[in-house]
Amino acid sequence: MLQVLGGPLPPNTAHAVSVSLPTWRANVGYEEGEEWVVSKMQCGYPRFFVHPSIQDLAREIVRRYGDPDGESATLFPSPKTALVCHSFLVSKVSPEDTDKVRVVNFVPSPRAAAATADTDGSSNITSRLSCVLYPRKYAPIAKQVWQHTGDGISSRRSEFCLKALEDGYLVEDKKSSPADVKSQRLCKGPRRYQRTGSLNGTLKEALPSTVKDTDPSPASKDAPDKGEFAQFIEERFGRNLSTSLADRAKLAVRRRIAGSLTADVDLSEALETTSSDGRIAGLTEDDVFLFPTGMSSIFNIHQILLHARGPMKSICFGFPYIDTLKILEKWGPGCLFYGHASSEDLDDLERRLSSGEKFLALFTEFPGNPLLKSPDLKRIRALANKYGFAVVVDETVGNFLNVNVLPYADVVVSSLTKIFSGDSNVMGGSAVINPHGHYYRDLKRCLASEYEDNLWAEDAVFLERNSRDFVSRIERINATTEAVTAILKASPLVREVYYPKYSPTRSFYEDCRNPSGGYGGLFSVTFHSTAEAVAFFDILEVMKGPSLGTNFTLSSPYTLLAHYKELEWARSFGVDSDLVRISVGLEDSPDLCARIQRALDAVQNVRLQT
């Protein structure tokens, strides 16, 4: 066992994205809520398990502004994101409890704002925080918003905000109201990232030597001098992690995603590159938008499309990561679901379109998770052009170094939490707008007024640092995964290997594969019995837990974790309940192949005993 039950993955990581569930039984126990598992959970995947630091901040806010005996709180980075939760709750709770659901917003105190004010008087310490308070019995409803939208605060933001709240640098905004929130347009487009003097949504470096002396406002005449707040910033972030890097880090990340970077480079080299034709002619970083999580990018792009095109049903094409389907079903007019992503599904869609049905957008993954099937993007694009709907492609599993799906999409979304970061210690998401897409102008116009930069400063810095060796990591992972899957594909002990190279939809993958691209680091495998799957999983000497794209090999009984309460539904789309998913990391290929072989030996032993 490489990590104890409930321990963070990676080990000894305060903001780990995954958690150790090292045996098949532990995964079932987690889904059943069994005490022997739940009591040991030090962390979890952030959208499913609220980080301990976020729990601490929520308790402190409830203690100060709510009823600790009967209320709970869910935390968001802005009034606008909190309003989504507020509206969802109000639509679900009993009528007599609607007034008990309320939003409390927090802003920098006068002394904090004065210490980091721009020359135009605006505050650079916009450590925004919004809290939705509600009767505790409605916590499961609020949790749906947290999980599906991905717009909750990050654990690093919560650590900062808790200390700022305790030290008086973060206070309740008594001027805001629900009406104010509805009319807010908090941020403009991503061009602001290129400004060097203002970090919207982050913290400007505020050391005593850089803060100008100005007359304090009447509200802050009795406050400590600005050096005290600067010391608070330095104690929180340290000299080696200056948050003034956040703007530059975000710009570097956006340029990497735009495709202008084709080799491992550090921050300074990334900032020297100003344009790109890497993924598609005319694409620049101005067409790349960052979000706090991958699901946030999907949720917000869906909202932007509704804003730009009006209320229409969407299409979910292919067996999806479950929250994508939930977003399309729970926000907006609903969704038409094609779980097989087959040519017959496209035939049915074409019949609907030709008979006059209208759709907002088609959402799909390339390739899909966990069966690694690739949709026919060429045909989908042709249908979209003919009948007028947007195409949104999630490239998280494929990643843009292996495949280029942008020519077929209006928007490409991705979870940067996964292979782009690799280190499994930070969340992030992105959306790339195709500059040649039919809806480009409408999308950019809506994003200019609706988009919020809610990626926390520290998270942006970590994301940029983690992604510097993205190119070399992908090359290594591609090669190792091909070696591992070849062993499994050749074994009579294995029933099926799901991998783009071996998929019946390989031709669709090849349509989008870059000349130097591979088949990625994710695959799934099934065996001839559940007992054999359990033996393989339990013996396999790799980290085990949720997530994918980590620098270490990570495995999970995926269907159990993602669809435990709907196993029959998943099976109806070919997703077996005893499927094992493996995300290959940076281990040496011979070593990982040997581990796979030892796990296969365990399967052989089970077969001999039956």
Residue 217 has pLDDT above 50, yes or no: no
Q: Of 194, 226, 241, which residue is a domain's last?
A: 241
Of 402, 432, 466, the residue at which a domain comes to its end is 466
Stretch among 163-177, 235-249, 409-423, 506-520 having the lowest mean pLDDT: 235-249
pLDDT > 70? residue 194: no
**Is residue 270 assigned to a domain?**
yes
Residue 191 pLDDT exceeds 70: no
The Cα–Cα gap between 22 and 554 comes to 10
The pLDDT value given to residue 553: 98
Judge if 413 and 526 occupy the same domain: no
Burial class (CB in 10 A: 0-12, 13-18, 19+), 182: exposed
Instruction: Work out the average pLDDT over 192-210.
Output: 31
State the pLDDT confidence band at 177, using cuts at 50, 70 and 90: low
CA distance 385 to 281: 19
State which amino acid sits at residue 131: C
pLDDT at 122 over 60: no
Does 541 map to a domain?
A: yes
pLDDT of 545: 97
Measured distance CA(576)–CA(557) in Å, rounded: 10
With beta carbons less than 8 A apart as the criterion, state whether 318 and 339 touch.
yes
Residues 441 and 481 in one domain: no
Residue 70 domain-assigned?
Answer: yes
DSSP per-residue codes, 332-356:
SS-EEEESS--HHHHHHHHHHHHTT
Under the banding of pLDDT at 50, 70 and 90, the label for residue 331 is very high
Q: Which token pair is 292?
A: 């706090």
Does a structural domain hold residue 12?
Answer: no
**Could you give the CA distance from residue 105 to residue 550 in angstroms, rounded to a whole number?**
35
Same-domain status, 224 and 275: no
Which pLDDT band holds residue 206 (cuts at 50, 70, 90)? very low
Q: What is the mean pLDDT of residues 518-536?
A: 98
**How many other C-beta atoms can be found within 10 angstroms of the C-beta atom of residue 56?**
13
Q: Are 314 and 447 members of one domain?
A: yes
Which residue's structure tokens are 């679901």?
Answer: 337
Residue 148, C-beta contacts closer than 8 angstroms, at least 6 positions apart: 295, 299, 323, 326, 327, 330
Are 149 and 283 within one domain? no
CA nearest neighbour of 15 among 187, 131, 212, 156: 156
**Mean pLDDT in residue range 593-609:** 97
- How many folded domains does the chain comprise? 3
Give per-residue pLDDT as tens, 36-85. Answer: 999 999 999 999 999 999 999 999 999 999 999 999 999 999 999 999 99
DSSP line for 210-225 = GPPP-PPPGGGTTSPP
pLDDT at 138 exceeding the cut of 50: yes
Query: Both tokens of residue 550?
Result: 């980590």
Residue 192: the pLDDT is 33
Q: What is the mean pLDDT of residues 106-124?
A: 60
Q: Which amino acid is at 35?
A: E
Report the candidate in 408, 191, 472, 432 with the shortest Cα–Cα distance to residue 294: 432
Which pLDDT value is given to residue 214?
Answer: 30
What percentage of the chain carries pLDDT values higher than 90?
A: 79
Check residues 2 and 93 and name the one with the higher pLDDT.
93
Is residue 30 assigned to a domain? Answer: no
Q: Give the pLDDT score at 466.
A: 96
> Are residue 217 and residue 345 in the same domain, yes or no?
no
Residues 100 and 232 in one domain: yes
505 lies in some domain: yes
Residues 234 and 249 in one domain: no
Tokens of 129: 């925080």
pLDDT at 112: 75
pLDDT class of 321 with cuts at 50, 70, 90: confident
Lowest mean pLDDT among 141-155, 186-200, 283-297, 484-498: 186-200
- Count of residues in the chain: 610
- Cα atoms found within 13 Å of the Cα of residue 232, Cβ hemisphere only: 25
Instruction: Say whether both 57 and 179 belong to one domain.
Output: yes
Q: Is the pLDDT of residue 209 over 60?
A: no
SS (H, E, C) 303-338: HHHHHHHCCCCEEEECCCCHHHHHHHHHCCCCEEEE
Look at residues 433, 466, 499 and tell me which one is the last residue of a structural domain: 466
pLDDT at 350: 98
User: Residue 351's pLDDT is what?
Assistant: 98
Q: Report pLDDT digits (tens) over 259-282.
A: 866 677 777 777 776 655 678 999
d(CA 156, CA 51): 10
Containing structural domain, residue 413: 245-466
Does residue 560 belong to any structural domain of this protein?
Answer: yes
What confidence score (pLDDT) does residue 128 get? 83
Q: Does residue 253 contact residue 467 with C-beta atoms inside 8 Å?
A: yes
How much is the average pLDDT of 180-190? Answer: 38
On whether the CB atoms of residues 132 and 76 are closer than 8 A, the answer is yes
Q: Is 188's pLDDT higher than 50?
A: no
Neighbours of 347 (CB within 10 A): 10
368 torsion bin: left (phi>0), alpha (psi -120 to 50), beta (else) = beta
Q: Do 97 and 232 fall within a single domain?
A: yes
| Nearest Cα residue to 87 out of 185, 181, 188, 201 | 181
Residue range 213-240: mean pLDDT, rounded = 48
Domain match, 596 and 459 both = no
* CATH number of the structural domain spanning residue 301: 3.40.640.10
Tell me the C-alpha distance between 394 and 32, whole Å: 30
Mean pLDDT, rounded, for 174-186: 51
Q: What does pTM read for this prediction?
A: 0.89
In this prediction, residue 436 has a pLDDT band, given cuts at 50, 70 and 90, of very high
> Does 53 share its domain with 147?
yes
In which residue are the tokens 């704002």 written? 113
Both tokens of 394, joined, read 């999630």
Q: Does residue 456 lie in a domain region? A: yes
pLDDT per position as a tens digit, 351-408: 999 999 999 999 999 999 999 999 999 999 999 999 999 999 999 999 999 999 999 9
